[in-house]
Amino acid sequence: MSDTPNYMLKKLLLHSRNNSRLWAALVALCVGTTLLLLTVLIWWNFRELLYGKNQNDSLGSTFMIIGKKVTDQNMGVKNATVFTDADITEVKHAPQVQDVGVISSNQFPVYAMMGGNLAFATDLPLESVPDNFIDKLPKEWVWHPGDRELPIIVSAQFLDIYNYVFAPSQGLPQLSETSVKAIALNLKVGGPERYETVTARVVGFSDRIGSVLAPQSFIDYGNKKYGKPGVASTTSQLILKTGDPSDTKFTDYIQLHSYSTNSQNLRWSKMRAIVEVVTTATGVLALLLMGISTMVFILFIELTIARAQASLTLLMQIGYSPARLSKFMSSRFLPLVMGTLLASMLIAMVVQYVASVQAKAQQLTLPELPGWPVWAALVLSTLILVVLISRSVSGAIRR
């Protein structure tokens, strides 16, 4: 026979609830929160694509190689694409540049040979960068004079050319990265009279270089021992360690000086500028929408409480404490808000999953679940809403 006190409180305090207004406020809140979460999600995914740990490159994502563009005007001019000391100093002070390394190339003949089914022989250009410019330094990355094994990092494009162009046309098997790492390459270093042979093994791939990287110690050794006397070594490429290579200030600098680079980051930078504008605009819109919908929701709560003022006064007169009544009112409204936020998060999760599937189709890796900033945005907006609503409820009841 006895009803719960909450049933009676509901009858007294919430009978005049106007549901259409409530739903409108909740839908607006849901749209606002979803937009906010999606903004964070897009921003985060873009970051993941740019700087994520999933990059398969032995040079890190913040390293890049630049050279001077060869143009019709400078193609015949001697040393036109050589970096002078002044150039190097200037690059050191460019935006986002943290360190500059000189790429040395071999001034001595290197001839690569391979036996068996894959028999071929070619001149091989070798380059080296200081070790601290290699982000994920392979553990085999050491060479001392006299060592028979030489670790090398090759351009990822070599493998692509082999797999997609060369191997099919020659009826040769395609090779995975792991199988390439197992292949030994014989290098004949030096001239016809004086030479030595080493066995080179691929220990990593990079799409930042156009050639083959060998340890600095090997290049120094070869240049000293087999280099042509009198030929001074010149610097035609630099490796840069950058804070954020997709920063537009940096990319503008690179373009202004007509430097060439094959870094993906540079290609991303234009897109990043667009994404930044879009996410900022969406973020502002989302915050605005959330602000307005929260205000509408709070006004709705205050209106509900104002309409029930007579009952509230009498309830307090018979001994119901304002704290208890606030708790009751909050317990009616907060689950609605929580449910709305949860719905927004579910939408964000679905979007992230779809994005990860789509990214996979494009050979990109994105996590299947939203990253922590999205969860943080959810937690933060939940906290703010809970505090605002609880405060407005207890404020309206004590008024």
Partner 1 sequence: MRLSLQGVIPRPLREKVDTYTSGIWKSNVSLNRGDYVFVQAPSGTGKTTLVHILYGLRQDYDGQVQWDNTTLQKASEEELAQLRTNGVSVIFQDMRLFPELTAWENIDIKRQLTNTVTEQQATEWMQRLGIADKKNSPGATLSYGEQQRVAIIRALLQPFAWLLMDEPFSHLDHANIEKAITLIGEVVRQNNAGMLLADLDANTYFPYTKMILL
Residue 20 Cβ vs partner 1, minimum distance, rounded to whole Å = 22
Tell me the DSSP string of 221-260. Answer: HHHHHHSPTT------EEEEEES-TT-HHHHHHHHHTTEE
Nearer to partner 1, 77 or 310 (CB): 310
> What single letter denotes the amino acid at residue 50?
L
Nearer to partner 1, 320 or 375 (CB): 320
Measured distance CA(282)–CA(275) in Å, rounded: 10
Residue 325 Cβ vs partner 1, minimum distance, rounded to whole Å = 9
Measured distance CA(60)–CA(241) in Å, rounded: 9
Residue 298 Cβ vs partner 1, minimum distance, rounded to whole Å = 21
Residue 3 Cβ vs partner 1, minimum distance, rounded to whole Å = 7
Measured distance CA(233)–CA(102) in Å, rounded: 11
What is the dihedral sign for C-alpha 239, 240, 244, 245?
Answer: negative
Residue 330 Cβ vs partner 1, minimum distance, rounded to whole Å = 16
CB 32 within 8 A of CB 290: yes
Nearer to partner 1, 184 or 314 (CB): 314
Query: What residues line the site for partner 1 (CB under 8 A)?
Result: 1-5, 8-9, 11-12, 15, 311, 314-324, 398
Measured distance CA(349)–CA(353) in Å, rounded: 6
- What are phi and psi for residue 378, nearest 5 degrees? -65, -50
> What single letter denotes the amino acid at residue 263?
S
> What single letter denotes the amino acid at residue 274?
I
Nearer to partner 1, 8 or 281 (CB): 8
Residue 4 Cβ vs partner 1, minimum distance, rounded to whole Å = 8
Nearer to partner 1, 3 or 193 (CB): 3
Nearer to partner 1, 118 or 316 (CB): 316
Q: What is the DSSP-derived secondary structure letter of residue 83?
A: P
Residue 289 Cβ vs partner 1, minimum distance, rounded to whole Å = 36
Measured distance CA(354)–CA(342) in Å, rounded: 18
In the chain, beta strands by DSSP E: 63-68, 97-102, 104-105, 110-114, 120-123, 126-128, 149-155, 184-190, 195-206, 212-213, 237-242, 259-260
Nearer to partner 1, 73 or 317 (CB): 317
By DSSP bridging, strand 195-206 and strand 149-155 are parallel
